[in-house]
């Protein structure tokens, strides 16, 4: 009988090479994946918010209330009310209660009508404000009272001239402006540049009053 040939042992070199190649490929892929995971690590947890300082809040509340009192004494009611509203939000219940009562006080003051002007200057200031609002009738009344109180007030005569000019009273405006210039010649230069007098400044008698050098 023919004898079987002994099988040659399989060489393991090729198998080892294949295994090593697979391991290298696998390690390479795993290494890249691990690197990607490391790059997308979660952000650090946010820091906890600071705990409010009760002492600091109480100090700010007291300062707001104290400043509000100062403004109230100066009759700055709107600004005082804003500070009392801030003081009402603080931790001190006593200051909160006082702030609430002062807020109501400011509201009553703000709702009350303005006091009646007393001096000639008060009347003048109110008259000018009314002229700017084009409330000419009321402005004229206050300026007339101011002139009764201070007959030689050139600036009041000037304001009256403007009021009369805007009202269409050219004759009255001329008389008031002439008196203002007689008392204080600098009013002539002011009148030349005052746009509120444009409607009458081109009239002959006003031209002679404002530019005497051109009309000898």
201 and 134 in one domain?
A: yes
Kindly state whether residue 4 falls inside one of the protein's structural domains.
no
Q: Are 75 and 135 within one domain?
A: no
In a shared domain, residues 145 and 104: no
Structure tokens at 187: 């009013």
- Rounded CA-CA distance 203/67 in Å is 56
Domain annotation covers residue 32: no
How many domains does the chain divide into? 2
Which of 82, 111, 140 corresponds to the end of one domain?
111
Answer yes or no: do 106 and 171 share one domain.
no
pLDDT at position 47 is: 64
Tell me the DSSP string of the chain. Answer: -PPPPPPPPPPSHHHHHHHHHHHHHHHHHHHHHHHHHHHTPPPPPPPPPPPP-HHHHHHHHHHHHHHHHHHHHTT-HHHHHHHHHHHTTSS-HHHHHHHHHHHHHHHHHHHSPPPPP-SHHHHHHHHHHHHHTT-HHHHHHHHHHHHHH-TT-HHHHHHHHHHHHHHT-HHHHHHHHHHHHHH-THHHHHHHT-GGGHHHHTSHHHHHHH-GGG--
- One domain, residues 81 and 143: no
75: left (phi over 0), alpha (psi -120 to 50) or beta: left
Instruction: State whether 98 and 181 are in the same domain.
Output: no
Angstrom CA distances, 27 to 20, 21, 30, 32, stand at 10, 10, 5, 9
User: CATH code at 207?
Assistant: 1.25.40.10
137 and 165 belong to one structural domain: yes
Same domain, 136 and 100: no
Q: What is the pLDDT, as a whole number, of residue 112? A: 73
List Cα–Cα distances, 136 to 90, 129, 130, in angstroms.
Answer: 48, 10, 7
On whether both 107 and 126 belong to a single domain, the answer is: no
CA dist 202 and 113 (Å) reads 41
Q: What average pLDDT values come out for the chain (216 residues) when binned by 10 residues?
A: 46 48 48 48 62 74 93 90 93 92 90 82 94 94 96 97 95 96 96 92 91 78
Residue 64 shares a structural domain with residue 126 = no
Does any domain span residue 30?
Answer: no
Residue-range definition of the domain harbouring residue 141: 120-214
């Amino acid at each position: 009988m023919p004898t079987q040939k002994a099988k040659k042992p399989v060489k393991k070199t090729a198998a080892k090479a294949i295994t090593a190649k697979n391991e290298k490929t696998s390690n390479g892929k795993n290494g890249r994946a691990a690197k990607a995971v490391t790059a997308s690590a979660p952000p650090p947890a946010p820091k906890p918010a600071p705990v409010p300082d009760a002492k600091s809040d109480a100090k700010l509340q007291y300062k707001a209330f104290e400043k509000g009192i100062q403004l109230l004494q100066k009759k700055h009611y709107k600004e005082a009310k804003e500070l009392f509203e801030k003081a009402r939000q603080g931790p001190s219940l006593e200051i909160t209660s006082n702030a609430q009562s002062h807020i109501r006080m400011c509201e009553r003051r703000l709702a009350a009508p303005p006091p009646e002007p007393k001096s000639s200057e008060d009347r003048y200031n109110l008259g000018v404000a009314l002229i700017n609002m084009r409330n000419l009738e009321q402005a004229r009344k206050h300026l007339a009272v101011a002139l009764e109180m201070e007959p030689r007030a050139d600036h009041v005569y000037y304001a009256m001239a403007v009021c009369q000019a805007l009202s269409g009273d050219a004759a009255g405006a001329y008389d008031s402006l002439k008196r203002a210039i007689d008392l204080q010649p600098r009013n002539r230069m002011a009148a030349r540049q005052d746009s509120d007098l444009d409607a009458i400044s081109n009239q002959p008698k006003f031209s002679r009053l404002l530019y005497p050098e051109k009309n000898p």
